[in-house]
Structure 1
Amino acid sequence: MKDLIGYQERTNWMGEEILTLADIWPDQPRAMIVGLNPAPPSVEAGHYYQGRSGQGQLRRLAAARLLDMPSGRHFEDAVLAAGVGFTDIVKRPTTGEDGVSKAEIAHGSGLLADALSARGVELIVCVFRQPVKALLGDEGSPGIQAKRTPWGAQVFRMPGPYQDAASAAVAMQQLATVWSTMNRTDTI
């Protein structure tokens, strides 16, 4: 049996033993970065978002000051230092959303909503569109969603990796403003 590296974990997902990435929860999570499911290269490396698109999305989050930019490819320490964590709706790795079933999304959405609610997470950052649809019932458009979760958390849908720069900047500014307000409120 292979030794685990980074944030790899072996777990049971809907009756099947799999190798995946462990959820990364800060002690007091203020925000969680949520993906649909981990990509095989990320699981193999033991770190979240190791592909080109994922790395680009995390750099956008650093530019919006949600977290500090790390010196390498691994963002886990930077998100934890900011009171942010990583998780996915579906734990089984696939190369794309086509490999994820509706049953897996339904199963994982319920588990995720329970975990986020129990920890009082205030802001959910969805790296791609699918987690927004799973949590709110509609994929929305990039930016802060009008609808909140049942426990009152705001949901932010990141712009796609190939979205035009101007509209991506508008969406990311919304996140920067919400995050700045959350930080200001906590210090008063």
Structure 2
Amino acid sequence: MGSQILTLADVWPDDPRAMIVGLNPAPESVAAGHYYQGRAGRGQLLKLADTGLFPRPSGPHFEGVALASGVGFTDIVKRPSVGEGDVTKEEIRYGSAQLADKLGSAGMGLVICVFRHPVRALLGTDTGPGLQPTITSWGGRVFRMPGPYDKRENVQRVLQQLSSIVSAL
């Protein structure tokens, strides 16, 4: 939005299969220089690895294994903050429009949201965990991960759906 800030660089695969989209980076992730360094975020990425989207990394960072599998990372709002309550509606509107243009230009067919907030920002609606029925403005699909503390049976059901999607990519 015209201000210089320290944030995470987008990770764009050369041959994209999917993009993991967050609302905005956490300060601890920006300090580490890697996406999803918090406990909940790392747990969500391990679940994604278990669906076959990319292999589990040997260390704490996921970008390398994800990128090698055609999966990238980005955020709607680039400004780091502790929580979604610190992000303004104006930032979300601006970031969503910018990101939709980038994702559309890349022909991104699958967007995976680790948490719920980016789904509403990209689609204007959220029907809960799983593949969203609404198609993006560029013709892509959005998948919302179950919450990090969701019931085990819900997590298994939703991740099985993603495993089926991933195997068809």
- For the criterion TM > 0.5, the same-fold answer is yes
Residue 174 of structure 1 pairs with residue 155 of structure 2 = no
**C-alpha separation between the residues in 2 aligned to 1:25 and 1:133?**
22
Conserved in 2, the CA contact under 8 Å of 1:28 and 1:119? no
The number of residue pairs the alignment matches comes to: 169
| TM-score normalised to structure 1 length | 0.88
Conserved in 2, the CA contact under 8 Å of 1:89 and 1:109? yes
CA shift for structure 1 position 139: 2.1
Residue 164 of structure 1 pairs with residue 128 of structure 2 = no
After the TM superposition, which residues 29-48 of structure 1 pair with which residues of structure 2 at under 5 Å, given as runs? Answer: 29-48=16-35
1:66 to 53, 77, 90: 53
> CA offsets per residue over residues 73-106 of structure 1, 9 Å max, x none?
1000011011010000000000000000000000
Residue 49 of structure 1 pairs with residue 36 of structure 2 = yes
Code of the aligned partner of 1:47: H
Q: Decide which structure has the larger Cα Rg and report it.
A: 1
Code of the aligned partner of 1:96: G
Q: What is the SS of the residue equivalent to 1:125?
A: strand
1:151 to 128, 138, 159: 138
CA shift for structure 1 position 148: 1.1
**C-alpha separation between the residues in 1 aligned to 2:12 and 2:2?**
24
Code of the aligned partner of 1:99: D
Conserved in 1, the CA contact under 8 Å of 2:100 and 2:138? no
RMSD between aligned alpha carbons? 0.7
Tell me: higher relative CO, structure 1 or 2? Use CA pairs within 8 A at least 6 residues apart: 2
Conserved in 1, the CA contact under 8 Å of 2:26 and 2:81? yes
After the TM superposition, which residues 1-188 of structure 1 pair with which residues of structure 2 at under 5 Å, given as runs? Answer: 14-182=1-169
CA shift for structure 1 position 180: 0.4
Moved over 6 A (4+): none
**C-alpha separation between the residues in 1 aligned to 2:8 and 2:30?**
6
Code of the aligned partner of 1:76: E
Residue segments in structure 2 that go unaligned for 5+ positions in a row: none
Q: What is the SS of the residue equivalent to 1:21?
A: coil
**C-alpha separation between the residues in 2 aligned to 1:173 and 1:156?**
12
Residue segments in structure 1 that go unaligned for 5+ positions in a row: 1-13, 183-188
Which structure shows the higher strand fraction? 1
